[in-house]
Structure 1
């Protein structure tokens, strides 16, 4: 799993530019499903036959990034956000464009950190003029953050663990499941970070009976952290609520029962911010019961996110248990 995470997080794939990560996942799972398709939006959907109930899992492939909005006369790139980024965390961070061009984020002088907005930031790609910069990068190009995977033993740090960790869980579950009791639609979605877009269209086409997103969640286990119950190393998190979703009671009860029955460590998640693909799935057509299996993660939406591999393993086991449990709602 650690090597899979290393490979997944090394691939740049900001929202709307998921081609590389999709190709990698497609090659990784092609021998573990009955059908593999890519829909109009770019979602990768792996189907595995198993039963009458249609169960959709969703893990998003995209990551946060930046998009070039203008190039000034000195060759510095002005940029906007792709997904949720915090300006005060960006100074001196590195980014890389699809053609390999690398840059570092600089900032204009500000007297107060509160004045540090995206408009005060720029990307320096080492160009001495606008003409030189335009030979490397054009307006409208999207870059991902460029940081290596770090192995800390039982915990790892990387960019894009939101949500390559969810992709890793779904890939590994597909490899482990032996007797699926439901028709499985394992969906690797696009453009989650900019509005849950891929999940919305995928669920519309699949029309599942139940939907479960796989994503990260914040923690409350660092100094002076927000008062959140989730902690690294305490197991998979079964979501109760976030901004986009109140988990369907039957889904919460199902996941809790399966965790307890199979001796899988778990914790409950109530998140006062953010949302996941489940928020879009539940509102599809006439409504779909939906929930989330989350992996606790520190330093969300930064180039240095951290997870515990025990939580990752617990999430895989819970997904497999759900796949192999005959579901009726």
Structure 2
């Protein structure tokens, strides 16, 4: 799976948690253009009542797939101070970018006595959101860039839209900073379509048991534990698909699956994503082979679950 313009474009759009309007507007534009060539033209829900979230409904959905649109970053404070948004890796000298009312911003991240600062030559307007400067590198079947978490999950679901006949796609907000949009999204899709099973398209970490170039990642647990009966069905269908995958078992971390499990709705969930190195840094790294496997596995599962 080579790099294409869609992935390149979404990697260049900033969307720190709380400021997802730019990426949301881009997606709505792309959906409007691309849906003419999709197997099924979906019903689209977005706008003021959904904040920056987007829901696409194809045919008669049984399963929902979620991908969050936001990224980690920083908020400008006082006296050149910065406050993390989500859990960005703190690397001295990292280039950050953003924009306030006075213009474009490019500065370096600095740390002193446990506090974070920027070195921009003028004060930055309070509340301005900064993100890692983008620098995409492609080599030997790998991609290295900022925001792979969760641009790769978004990309996989956009590719899924091309062939999906029955299913529900959700692009959510705020995942990196404690969630917040999922409760009303879950209520909307449960009350309108009775959705009882969900897949989480997101990025996980390379560990001693999860590696690059070994296929999609099916997570059996992180800090939360999905229902085993549903996991067994997922694995059975994954085996039937013949798509390469690997199983993850972790004690920490989480995703939009957390809010599904804590919701009042009887909805099963499973994280199915892609592995990356250097998480929450400007140099996240993943394999195109794994991305291709992720897309193929979603295509099979959404049709057969």
What TM-score does the superposition give when structure 2 sets the normalisation length?
Answer: 0.89
**How far apart, CA to CA, are the structure 1 residues paired with 2:265 and 2:13?**
36
Question: Is residue 36 of structure 1 aligned with residue 44 of structure 2?
Answer: yes
Match of 2:150 among 147, 163, 169: 163
What SS does structure 1 have at the residue aligned with 2:201?
Answer: strand
Correspondence 1:20-169 to 2 at 5 A? 20-30=22-32, 31=35, 32=38, 33-38=41-46, 39-51=49-61, 53=62, 55-70=63-78, 72=79, 77-87=80-90, 89=91, 91-99=92-100, 100-108=104-112, 117=114, 119=115, 121-127=116-122, 133=123, 137-169=124-156
CA positional deviation for 1:200: 2.9
CA positional deviation for 1:95: 1.1
**How far apart, CA to CA, are the structure 1 residues paired with 2:297 and 2:210?**
17
Asked if structure 1 preserves the Cα contact closer than 8 Å seen for 2:106 and 2:120, the reply is: yes
**How far apart, CA to CA, are the structure 1 residues paired with 2:227 and 2:234?**
11
| Structure 2: unaligned runs, 5 residues or longer | none
Correspondence 1:1-329 to 2 at 5 A? 2-3=3-4, 4-30=6-32, 31=35, 32=38, 33-38=41-46, 39-51=49-61, 53=62, 55-70=63-78, 72=79, 77-87=80-90, 89=91, 91-99=92-100, 100-108=104-112, 117=114, 119=115, 121-127=116-122, 133=123, 137-177=124-164, 180=165, 182=166, 184-207=167-190, 208-220=195-207, 228-243=208-223, 245-325=224-304, 327=305
Q: How many residues align?
A: 288
**CA deviation vs aligned residue, 1:258-294 (integer Å, no higher than 9, x gap):** 2221210011011222101111122222331111102
Asked if structure 1 preserves the Cα contact closer than 8 Å seen for 2:17 and 2:70, the reply is: yes
| Structure 1: unaligned runs, 5 residues or longer | 109-115, 128-132, 221-227
**How far apart, CA to CA, are the structure 2 residues paired with 1:253 and 1:41?**
35
Structure 1 segments of 4+ aligned residues over 4 angstroms from their partners: none
**CA deviation vs aligned residue, 1:118-158 (integer Å, no higher than 9, x gap):** x1x3111223xxxxx2xxx3111111111211111311001
Q: Which has the higher Rg, Structure 1 or Structure 2? A: 1
CA positional deviation for 1:104: 1.3
**How far apart, CA to CA, are the structure 2 residues paired with 1:307 and 1:200?**
30
**How far apart, CA to CA, are the structure 1 residues paired with 2:118 and 2:230?**
45
**How far apart, CA to CA, are the structure 2 residues paired with 1:36 and 1:98?**
31
Asked if structure 1 preserves the Cα contact closer than 8 Å seen for 2:172 and 2:181, the reply is: yes
Alignment root-mean-square deviation, CA:
1.7
